Structure 1
Amino acid sequence: MARFDAALDRLCPDEDWDGPLGLAVSGGPDSFALLLLGAAARPGDIAVMSIDHGIRPEAAREVAFVETICQSLDVPFTSAKVTLGAGNLQAKAREARYAALVQWAAQQKIGHVATAHHIDDQAETLLMRLARGSGLPGLAGVREWTHLPGSDVPLIRPLLGFRKAELEAVVASAGITPVSDPSNENPAFDRVRVRQHLAEHDWLDAEALATSAHHLAEGWRALEWYAQLDWEEMVSREDTPEGAPQYRYYCNVPRAIQIETVSRIVSALGGRVSRSEAGNAADRLWRGENASLGGVLGRCEIEKVEKVGVEMRVWRFSPEPPRNTH
């Protein structure tokens, strides 16, 4: 399809092509469509990984089926079996899947990795996150271009302009019967309930919802740009006389930017903090109170900025001193 070729050219232009395009293929209709479209668009320059999450006994046969289809298309294939940690099943499966893809990309010198997220996935994601009260980063939905978590491997979603029904038609026209994961029909999962709700209510237009997610993503990119500017112009490192690291932040921006900058400062000092925690800390500092978060202590002062001749809030961050346990 011309739309798929155009999406690949936009997300992975020729000058950025560095190694084969890696495709994550589970054996479902969406990922098989990704395989078929990818093989047609980049013949001889794609590779496939299929992952057994160890959740269902059928998964090993499904991975073997994907391998058979790849052999028929002369596409290099790699399989992996992962072990899931305790906690939310779908979240842990996603974490393990991405970790396996990162390792595969490094071993096979994969240039970009693509997954099969589409318009209907995007609509479901937006509704789920709205229901959870997510902020702008969450409402931006599934990104067309990002990185595999914890790596510098580009992760692209070239099918975000396609409806699920279109992808099913691509697979059917190739005479392939995709595998069916019963968890996709299990109402115990939030996504399944949202999917059923979308199917029952015609006024909820998946394409319109996905478009809204795209607009929100543009807003988030603008906020990220502003936060980068705030970091570069308003944050400086000034170590204490003892050599301990300390950051000074002249804060005079909207709260959403404060949250991003505070999070980045905490990270620079070796701590970890959620956006919610960073927001609570920013609120305390804005009121003139100290704030402790992620092993970092933030203190609020008022200081005259010589180059502009006005007083501004200045927040200083340093590693939190050890607590006296006696």
Structure 2
Amino acid sequence: MNLPVRFAQECGRLGLTEGEPLGLAVSGGPDSLALLVIAQQIIPTAIRVATVDHGLRAEAAQEAAYVAGLCADFGIPHETLHVHVPQGGNVMARARGERYAALGAWAAREQIRFVATAHHADDLAETLLMRLNRASGLRGLGAMRDRALMPGRNDVMLIRPLLSLSRADLASIVERAGLEPVDDPTNADPAYDRARIRQGLAQADWLDPMRLAASAVHLRDMADVLEFAARHEFAAQTNLSEDGRQLAYNPAGPRSVRFRVLEEIVARYATEGTPRGEDVARLLDTLESGEKATLAGVMCTPRAGVWHFTAAPPRSEG
């Protein structure tokens, strides 16, 4: 099928109505340029483009200007969004958060309900391998969704209409269009996990990114099944005391379901932050051995096969 037509059909499946404006996040790299080229061919008058300048590299301003020039040639409205990313720690994660916040605010200001990014199948494959290397659970291994609310907003939908295409597919689209994508050196910087995974995939010709991406989608579907089972288990096996101060849970079903229910209980009643998955796993082991424990301000006590949860008493000072 013709790629632009396929793109239009995919956007329609994700909720975009005919003639409705579509925001595009375009950095100037090969993936986002392919997104721009495809969208320009099928819905040129409905596109609005934003480029986020994180201020992390001196070249970023020139790259944003390059995208602005391309959009001017295409007759497409463009805006550069400037964000500030504090240094230290996980810079990439904070940059991603600032980027989505800026894109969401821009879309709301421009009355755009849908913003598309150029995530593709290779991204799914790389993320799967990264998460496997970190011993992530089922939810962490599952593929990103092709449609989700923009983080921090309920009025803008983030869509990913290119997830079925490979990085090579997108690169060929840009090449045929005669465009020269910008080169972000962080994409090849071995200081970042994703760059190392990407290099490893390129060197391992026996690994198929498209098949890895398909596996990530299957894992996401299984995570949805587990979530459904956990919600049913929570509704059927938990009881709140009359005074609302204690929750009782009669654990049943597979361990993965018990883990997810326990995670939900602690998350709902935690008063001291959100515990990590390994903390919940240790708590599950403790309760199943018949011992009580406290996690995130929640006191957990097993009695006669039923687990009881209540607020832990205040810690004494001094």
TM-score strictly above 0.5: yes
Q: What CA distance in whole angstroms lies between the structure 2 residues aligned with 1:281 and 1:19?
A: 49
- TM-score, normalised via structure 1 length: 0.86
What amino acid is aligned across from residue 261 of structure 1 in structure 2? V
Task: Write out per-residue CA displacement over residues 138-167 of structure 1, whole angstroms, 9 at most, x where no aligned residue.
Answer: 211333233333333432211111111211
Distance in structure 2 (CA, Å) of the matches to 1:96 and 1:227: 33
Aligned sequence identity (%) = 43
Change (3 A) 1:288 1:26: same
How does 1:66-81 map onto structure 2 within 5 Å? Answer: 66-81=67-82
Which of 7, 10, 26 is the equivalent residue of 1:7? 10
Distance, in Å, in 1 between the alignment partners of 2:250 and 2:196 is 46
One-letter amino acid of the counterpart of residue 73, structure 2:
S
| In 1: Cα distance, 2:233 partner to 2:111 partner | 36
Structure 2: distance between partners of 1:264 and 1:18: 41
Contact conserved, 2:128 with 2:212, CA < 8 A, in 1? Answer: yes
TM alignment of 1:69-148, pairs within 5 A: 69-85=70-86, 86-148=88-150
Q: Is the 8 A contact 2:293 2:299 kept in 1?
A: yes
Q: Identify the match of residue 284 of structure 2 among 282, 285, 297.
A: 282
RMSD: 2.3
Partners of 1:45 and 1:231 lie apart in 2 by 45
Residue in 1 that maps onto 2:252: 252
Aligned partner of 2:157 in structure 1 is: 154
Larger displacement relative to structure 2 (281-290 or 174-183)? 281-290
Correspondence list, 1:174-253, <5 A: 174-238=177-241, 240=243, 245-253=245-253
Of 93-102 and 162-171, more deviation after overlay is shown by: 93-102
| Deviation at residue 203 of structure 1 after TM alignment | 0.7
Q: Which secondary structure state, in structure 1, belongs to the residue aligned with residue 51 of structure 2?
A: strand
**Could you tell me how far apart the structure 2 residues matched to 1:8 and 1:293 are?**
43
Greater alpha carbon shift after TM alignment, 196-205 vs 264-273: 264-273
Task: Sort the Cα spacing of 1:291 and 1:211 in 2 relative to 1 into closer, same or farther, 3 A.
Answer: same
**Shift of residue 270 of structure 1?**
5.0
Question: Which stretches in structure 2 are left out of the alignment for 5+ residues?
Answer: none
What does 1:32-51 correspond to in 2, within 5 Å? 32-51=33-52
Partner of 2:166: 163
In structure 2, relative to structure 1, the CA distance for the partners of 1:202 and 1:21 (3 Å cut) is same
Query: CA offsets, 1:90-119, max 9 Å, x none?
Result: 222222222222333333333222221111
Work out the number of aligned pairs and report it.
311
Report deviation, 1:235: 3.1
Aligned twin of 2:306: 314
Asked whether the equivalents of residues 16 and 114 of structure 2 are also in contact (C-alpha less than 8 Å), the reply is no
Letter aligned with residue 169 of structure 1: S
Paired letter, 2:45: G
C-alpha spacing 1:75/1:237, structure 2 compared with 1 (3 Å): farther
Structure 2 letter corresponding to 1:297: M
CA distance in 1: counterparts of 2:75 and 2:269, whole angstroms: 49
**Cα deviation digits, residues 38-90 of structure 1 (max 9, x gap):** 23343433322211111100101111222222233333323222222331222
Q: 1:30 — aligned with what?
A: 31
| Letter paired with 1:277 | D
Out of 176-185 and 71-80, give the one that drifted further: 71-80
The 1:288/1:102 distance shift into structure 2, 3 A limit, reads farther
- The match for 1:296 is 298
Assess, with a 3 A threshold, how the Cα gap between structure 1 residues 283 and 75 changes in structure 2: closer, same or farther. Answer: farther
1:324 and 2:316 aligned:
yes
Using a 3 Å threshold, how does the CA distance of structure 1 residues 284 and 146 change in structure 2: closer, same or farther? farther
Taking a change above 3 Å as real, the CA distance of residues 202 and 239 of structure 1, as seen in their structure-2 partners, is same
Q: Which moved more, 1:102-111 or 1:24-33?
A: 102-111
Tell which deviates more after alignment, 54-63 or 125-134: 125-134
* Native 8 Å contact 2:107 2:113 kept in 1: yes
Distance in structure 2 (CA, Å) of the matches to 1:238 and 1:110: 46
8 Å Cα contact 1:245-1:269 kept in structure 2: no
